Structure 1
Amino acid sequence: MSAPPTRRPHRRRAAIGLLVTGLLVTGLLVTGLVALPGTAPAAAQPAGPAPADAVTWAVQPSSPDGPTGRNYFVYDLAPGAEITDHVAVRNLGDQDRTFTVYGTDGFLTDDGAFALLPADEPATDVGTWIHFDQREYEVPAGERLDIPFRLTVPANATPGDHAGGVIGSIAQLRTDASGQQVNVDQRVAARVYLRVDGPVRPAVSVESMSISYDDPVNPLGDGDVEVTYQVRNTGNIRVGGTGAVLLDGPLGWDLARTDPVDLPELLPGSTFTVTERITGVPPALRLTATVDLAPTTVDEALPPVTRTAGVWAPPWLLLAAIVALAGWFGVRRWRARRAVAPAATPASPAATPASNGAPDVEPADDGAASSPAR
């Protein structure tokens, strides 16, 4: 999916220095028609001269008396129920044509478009519940044929939504660019949406998420953030809604918020991947992206779903300058300490004359006469 136009975040450059120092595309629809993957819409041929054997036709919900204005076949049925309905195949060409008419299952493509199984892949769900009396029907030139079919819900059908389509196809031999004869199967269909009675469990999850940052060399420059996340319908009914990405820096610094992206209508079990690119993001050391989903069903809004991922966004050049400056001050301090003269060494005590073994004699006090021993 193409990301919406990117939004430039609010830029607060003064805060950078403080921090450093301290994010159902529907298919082509013409009167209820679905263009199937790998085929051009048969009722809308490319501009220019049409080949001599070109065929144009339309397929839409109908009744025994003709189309009733429905765009899709939409049913709410209980397990075991059976109904009869009609599909109109209109031959818009000037020759009689034989069309193959049958039911098959629906799915979601990678880009979010509704599609039906290829002709060579057998149905396993609602496509097997649709039954025609025959497989091929001839429709005269310029005429419409209203073809009946039965839809029988199995008794053990799972509750919730089931999607498929009723196809009208025609195969023709064509010559490709290399001159080879190829069998081209062109198909046009009307969608089928069937809800089987039972417990309804709408649920959506963000199954995976990644974030990357293109770090600029210039510490005052900006980089780009790319956020990719996958949404899965984990419930049993169709779910749509919107998704947005919030980008924050440290301490809850609000950097950016993308505009909401419309999610395609997700069938039960389907996934859809969204990629958002946000430009002009400063290297704020740590970036945190939060996916904020607002899912909805055809009936109601569901509780928000969020998921968060982070990525480092360091201002490398500025950090390198700070490290170099700290190293320079460290070297200067070390040299200054070495340049200081060593402290003076204390003098040794004066030498004492050697003793000759004679006892020390205290000198007599001056003026005191010694008395001889008696």
Structure 2
Amino acid sequence: MKAFRGGALAAAMIALAACLTVPANAAAPAAAPAAPAPGGHTWSVKPAGTKGQSRRDFFVYTLSPGQRVRDKVVISNLSDRALTFRVYATDAFNTADGSFALLTADRQATGIGTWLSTGGAPTRTVEPGKSVTVPFTLTVPSGATPGDHSGGVLAAVTEQTTGAQGQRVNVDRRVAARVYARVNGALSSSLQVESLKVASESPLLGTGDVRVTYRIRNAGNVRLAATARIGVTGPFGTDLGGPVSRQVPELLPGNAYTFTDRVRGVLPAGPLTASLGLTPLDPMETGPAAARPTVRTARWWATPWPAVAALVLAAAGAGYLVRRRRSRA
């Protein structure tokens, strides 16, 4: 086993519905770890300390097909009463807004969630202020595809509550530690811009905004982040408005994000070009990734109404002078 050093330690752990009341069949967003849930239930899920290693915030491994690794997760009950946790593993995915999330209890894991098995009983009762260490085994199938596989080990408390219509609803409150496993083999780093659309304002006077919507897909087999820069240029490559930059959050293989950014203060100057520059980043090292930067452009025409008005007036004035000279002749 080889452990990566994660660069984004602040995002190391996720709490799923720890502070939210979420139906068991609804996707739960990532939140801060050990957040208080309704009723004062609070707990945390963290990797156990490993002798000779620095503190870990999540599990990250590099493994080969067929390889097995054993590890431990610590569940701490920070509430004022005993809690019974269901401990299990499942797969990760990206939500529509780019957040890291785990499958809900009603969805069957098909990836790394099936590689993980926890030891002992499926449930653990932990007294208030106490912790329990749960061992687990991660076994990479012999036919596992190369690249990154992501999931989490969860501690869930399931309770019944009354819905808006008076019905009884099962609620899963879950806290999890992320698990990343990179399977050795042919690795591919690739971010693709699937679409780039522009909607611009064409004010009669002054400048307007340009709204740029673009969709990014991770077409490789390793997780990637990125820096995106959007700018608008006019004739002869003149910069118009103020360029916009954003950090694209970690994108899991096969997943896609759609973003909308606004470039302000763009002067309608006839032929305009919006450019999207995408620089992939390795989320494990927070540095440049092997994937090449990508540039995508979109062109459109923005009518410069003041210039058009000036030309119309000039043409009208010239016509008037010509007619006047002819009438004197």
* Alignment TM class, shorter chain as reference: 0.7 to 0.9
Tell me the secondary structure at the aligned position of residue 198 of structure 1: coil
Partner of 2:109 in structure 1? 123
Partner of 2:20 in structure 1? none
1:245, distance to aligned residue in structure 2 (A):
1.2
Partner of 2:55 in structure 1? 69
1:149 is aligned, of 118, 129, 136, to: 136
Tell me the secondary structure at the aligned position of residue 260 of structure 1: strand
Once the two structures are superposed, what CA deviation does each residue of 1:189-238 show, in whole Å capped at 9, x if it has no partner? 000010001111111121110112100112xx111111111221111111
Partner of 2:66 in structure 1? 80
1:306/1:132 CA distance change after superposition, 3 Å: same
1:169 is aligned, of 111, 135, 156, to: 156
**Matching of residue 311 in structure 1 with residue 294 in structure 2:** no
Partner of 2:4 in structure 1? none
Alignment of 1:259-270 (within 5 A): 259-270=244-255
1:319 aligned partner, one-letter code = V
1:335, distance to aligned residue in structure 2 (A):
9.0
| Cα distance in 2 between the residues matched to 1:260 and 1:184 | 39
1:63, distance to aligned residue in structure 2 (A):
6.0
| Cα distance in 2 between the residues matched to 1:223 and 1:130 | 53
1:326, distance to aligned residue in structure 2 (A):
3.0
**Matching of residue 102 in structure 1 with residue 102 in structure 2:** no
Please identify which structure carries the higher strand content: 2
Number of matched pairs: 307
Does the CA-based 8 Å contact 1:27-1:34 persist in structure 2? no
Partner of 1:43 in structure 2? 34
Does the CA-based 8 Å contact 1:72-1:190 persist in structure 2? yes
Tell me the secondary structure at the aligned position of residue 192 of structure 1: strand
Partner of 1:214 in structure 2? 201
**Matching of residue 287 in structure 1 with residue 276 in structure 2:** no
Tell me the secondary structure at the aligned position of residue 258 of structure 1: strand
**Matching of residue 242 in structure 1 with residue 233 in structure 2:** no
1:176, distance to aligned residue in structure 2 (A):
4.6
2:152 aligned partner, one-letter code = G
| Cα distance in 2 between the residues matched to 1:35 and 1:89 | 14
Tell me the secondary structure at the aligned position of residue 186 of structure 2: coil
TM-score by length of 2: 0.82
| Cα distance in 2 between the residues matched to 1:42 and 1:34 | 5
| Cα distance in 2 between the residues matched to 1:101 and 1:325 | 78
Question: Please, what is the CA RMSD of the aligned residues?
Answer: 3.0
TM-score by length of 1: 0.73
Does the CA-based 8 Å contact 1:239-1:295 persist in structure 2? yes
Tell me the secondary structure at the aligned position of residue 311 of structure 2: helix
Unaligned 5+ runs, structure 2: 1-7, 18-26
| Cα distance in 2 between the residues matched to 1:206 and 1:185 | 36
| Cα distance in 1 between the residues matched to 2:69 and 2:178 | 17
Range 330-339 or range 307-316, more displaced: 330-339
Range 95-104 or range 299-308, more displaced: 299-308
2:42 aligned partner, one-letter code = T
Tell me the secondary structure at the aligned position of residue 13 of structure 2: coil
| Cα distance in 1 between the residues matched to 2:243 and 2:325 | 55
Partner of 1:90 in structure 2? 76
| Cα distance in 1 between the residues matched to 2:82 and 2:54 | 25
Once the two structures are superposed, what CA deviation does each residue of 1:78-106 show, in whole Å capped at 9, x if it has no partner? 00111221111122223332211110111
| Cα distance in 2 between the residues matched to 1:324 and 1:68 | 74
1:202/1:64 CA distance change after superposition, 3 Å: closer
Once the two structures are superposed, what CA deviation does each residue of 1:120-157 show, in whole Å capped at 9, x if it has no partner? 11111101111124422222332211111111111111
| Cα distance in 2 between the residues matched to 1:256 and 1:222 | 8
Once the two structures are superposed, what CA deviation does each residue of 1:295-323 show, in whole Å capped at 9, x if it has no partner? 12235524321001112111235425534
Partner of 1:188 in structure 2? 175
1:93/1:34 CA distance change after superposition, 3 Å: closer
Partner of 1:365 in structure 2? none
Q: Which has the larger radius of gyration?
A: 1
Tell me the secondary structure at the aligned position of residue 319 of structure 1: helix
**Matching of residue 32 in structure 1 with residue 13 in structure 2:** yes
| Cα distance in 1 between the residues matched to 2:319 and 2:133 | 91
Does the CA-based 8 Å contact 1:27-1:115 persist in structure 2? no
Does the CA-based 8 Å contact 2:244-2:263 persist in structure 1? no
| Cα distance in 1 between the residues matched to 2:202 and 2:129 | 63
Does the CA-based 8 Å contact 1:159-1:197 persist in structure 2? yes
